[in-house]
Amino acid sequence: MVDLPRRSLLAGMAALGASACAKINDSEAAGSLFEAAEDGHRVLHRALAGKQGLAKEFTRDQRSPTFRGNGSVTVADPFYQDQLAKGFPDWRLEVKGLVETPLALSLTEIKSLPQRTQITRHDCVEGWSAIGEWQGVQLGHLLDMAKVKKEAKFIVFRCADLYAGRPYYESIDMVDAYHPQTIIAHALNGEALPEKNGAPYRMRIERQLGYKQAKYLQAIEAVTSFDQIGGGGGGLWEDIAGYQWYAGV
Amino acid sequence: MTKHALSTRLWHWVNAIAIIVLFMTGLNISNAHRHLYWGHYGFDASEAWLHVIRFPGWATIPGHYNLAVARDWHITMAWPFGIGVLFIWVAMLLNGHFRRDLMTAPKDWTPGAVIASIKAHSGANAGAHHGYNSVQKILYGGVFGVLLPLMLLTGLAISPGVAGFAPWLVDVFGGRQSARSLHFIAAWGIFGFFVIHIVLALLDWRLILEMFTGGKRDAAAPPAPPQPESLPDADEGAPAHG
């Protein structure tokens, strides 16, 4: 026969199986475990890929026939709609926060900067993928133009759309900010970015999931911390749904 | 000598918990986009090869749709699962469990061996044999050699961060959406094994206890192929492997 310690081991196993899911979710222990896993994934991915390691780029014939619009697919703001109809002549992209030289660039100015074109796969947190050709300016180039200060640790993207009634925003760290494939895209598949995909600008941060790829971009802000921004999670989905800030998994 | 090595028992229960959590959180994640595709991309339901049902709350962790929490659990529990698969493979190769019990010979793949296995595992003769029969070797081998590694590798391939340093891993499976489809298929393969495994183990509850205690290996009965029915059974009561 089994002795008592083994019996309690059995009971413990059963209890763990039954209650793990219900109780542990809300506990601080699980929260810090998940955070440790999230940090671990980021550190491990960076170690294995290198800070500049590129996401796979595809050929034109590998693109998906269309590119799905998801989340916000339109912006209600009248100024936005007016600019969309006219081709964004008065839309300014601000670069602000911890920079020596704040910028406010027009679409023409953005297009006159050195461009990068990349055909990459977009992976949604829900599970689907689409492949498109993006063209835009590297974020690192804009940050250098604005002379980002050394104390800046994160770059926050401010967006024109409201989702669930709140302004969309996202953030990345300086490693991803200076990644060669991190671009501010103004064109998709050779044409001006459509409204459903984030006109006039959306971010491409190719080694992370779709919710990081902020659309309807208005401002780029260098900060030391995003604790005081929005709900403090570093992004709208992080705030309202609890998605992980590092979206590399 | 124990029937189940400590490494086997330890892995078995850690893996059991990991797999249950991974499967049930996986069903929650599946509910986020209930269509499966082949190739690198896929988002249009009309191009899906499979439309998946919406899994009910009793089958998912948490018990309601919550992609963030399901993903937190899923990608955290993937660690004990993944490390466990590597651990048990190393342990099985070192302690002879693989060579002794799981490695098949050509004769294990013959219809005769399958029939002998089923006979040995059923009716009055159940529990009379020693070692793993041919069907067990093939099934366990399929789980250890195919399903568990496939689960791990397709899971890694779905991650955009992993694709950043191992794009070949995505290409091996034919693209991210193919990897995602294979991840789903392998999960149900493991579920199928899980059901058979539980049913057969419940037929003889001693088998479950032995997975805690280790049980005793009968020194007089070396691992042998399925015993012909006509032989007298010298070891009545010696439990079979599950």
Q: Residue A248: inside a domain, yes or no?
A: no
Chains A & B: contacts with CB separation below 8 Å = 133
Contacts of B189 (CB under 8 A, 6+ apart): B147
Side-chain half-sphere CA neighbours of A224 within 13 A: 3
Distances (CA, A) of B37 to A129, B149, B158, B173: 10, 21, 13, 12
Inter-chain contact B177–A34, Cβ cutoff 8 Å?
A: no
Model confidence pLDDT, tens digit, residues A177-209: 999 999 999 999 999 999 999 999 999 999 999
For residues A154 and A98, the answer to whether their CB atoms sit within 8 Å is: no
Q: Residue A11: inside a domain, yes or no?
A: yes
Centre a 10 Å sphere on the Cβ of residue B109 and count the other Cβ atoms it contains. 12
Cα–chain center distance at A84: 23
Model pTM score: 0.87
What domains can you pick out in chain B, each with its CATH number? 6-213 (1.20.950.20)
Task: Please name which of A117, A158, A154, A156 lies closest in space to residue A138, comparing C-alpha atoms.
Answer: A117
Chain A residues within 8 A of B35 when measuring between CB atoms: 128
Q: Residue A201: inside a domain, yes or no?
A: yes
Q: What is the CATH number of the domain that holds A42?
A: 3.90.420.10
Model confidence pLDDT, tens digit, residues A8-40: 444 444 444 444 444 555 678 889 999 999 999
What's the confidence (pLDDT) of residue B117?
87
Distance CA B101, CA B132 (A): 6
Q: Residue A247: inside a domain, yes or no?
A: no
Centre a 10 Å sphere on the Cβ of residue B102 and count the other Cβ atoms it contains. 19
Dihedral pair phi/psi, residue A220, rounded to 5°: -120, 125
Residue of A nearest to B21 (CA): A21
Of residues A10, A21, A50, nearest to B61 (C-beta): A21
Inter-chain contact B43–A128, Cβ cutoff 8 Å?
A: yes
Q: Residue A84: inside a domain, yes or no?
A: yes
Distance CA A72, CA A237 (A): 12
Q: Residue A179: inside a domain, yes or no?
A: yes
Q: Closest Cα of chain B to A75: distance in Å?
A: 23
What's the confidence (pLDDT) of residue B219?
56
Of residues A13, A241, A249, nearest to B159 (C-beta): A249
Dihedral sign (CA A214, A219, A221, A225) = negative
Eight-state DSSP code of residue B99: I
- Percent of chain B at pLDDT > 70 equals 86
Looking at residues A209-226, what average pLDDT do you find? 98
Among A97-106, A122-131, A147-156, B134-143, the range scoring the smallest mean pLDDT is B134-143
Centre a 10 Å sphere on the Cβ of residue B24 and count the other Cβ atoms it contains. 20
Model confidence pLDDT, tens digit, residues B148-207: 999 999 999 999 999 999 999 999 999 999 999 999 999 999 999 999 999 988 988 888
Q: Residue A246: inside a domain, yes or no?
A: no
What's the confidence (pLDDT) of residue B238?
40
pLDDT of B94 over the 90 cut? yes
Range of the structural domain that residue A127 is part of = 4-241
Chain B residues within 8 A of A241 when measuring between CB atoms: 67-68
Distance CA B90, CA B64 (A): 38
Q: Residue A249: inside a domain, yes or no?
A: no
Dihedral pair phi/psi, residue B173, rounded to 5°: -90, 0
Contacts of B164 (CB under 8 A, 6+ apart): A45, A49, A53, A54, A55, A206, A207, A248
Q: How many structural domains does chain A have?
A: 1
Model confidence pLDDT, tens digit, residues B28-63: 999 999 999 999 999 999 999 999 999 999 999 999
